[in-house]
């Protein structure tokens, strides 16, 4: 199969997916007529108007928690596939994971030094 044929197949798939999505939108518009209700666009909690504004600012200390969560979440996301191929690759995979865990540990130490784990 030549390169031009592969690009043709890819282009056909892209056009097919775009057509499918547009047809679903058109079907939704045709079948699912929405009713206009006055209270539909009001931000509410349990049927009552919210006393807080819709766009709430969070304190800056929560960004540190989020970054630490993402770091350790990514650790698990990379360790599962690594464990699958570890037997095949051998010591190189072990060293690569050691470097990766060292970088995460340095991030943990930095977060600890900045007081990210201190109760407030």
What pLDDT, on a 0 to 100 scale, did the predictor assign at position 42? 65
Q: What confidence score (pLDDT) does residue 71 get?
A: 78
Rounded Cα–Cα distance for residues 62 and 114 (Å): 13
Which residue ranges make up each domain of the chain? 1-32, 61-113
**pLDDT band at 86; cut points 50, 70, 90:** confident
pLDDT in tens, 94-113: 898 899 889 888 888 887 88
CA nearest neighbour of 77 among 104, 107, 110, 116: 104
**Alpha-carbon separation of residue 59 from 52, 55, 107, 108 (angstroms):** 16, 13, 21, 21
């Amino acid at each position: 199969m030549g390169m031009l044929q592969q690009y043709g197949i890819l282009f056909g798939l892209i056009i097919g997916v775009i057509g499918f999505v547009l047809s679903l939108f058109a079907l939704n518009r045709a079948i699912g007529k929405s009713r206009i209700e006055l209270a539909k666009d009001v931000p509410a909690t349990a049927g009552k108007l919210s006393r807080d504004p819709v766009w709430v600012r969070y304190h800056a200390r929560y960004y540190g928690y989020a970054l630490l969560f993402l770091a350790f979440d990514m650790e698990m996301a990379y360790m599962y596939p690594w464990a699958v191929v570890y037997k095949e690759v051998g010591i190189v995979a072990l060293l690569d994971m050691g470097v990766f865990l060292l970088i995460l540990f340095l991030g943990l130490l930095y977060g600890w030094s900045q007081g990210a784990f201190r109760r407030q």
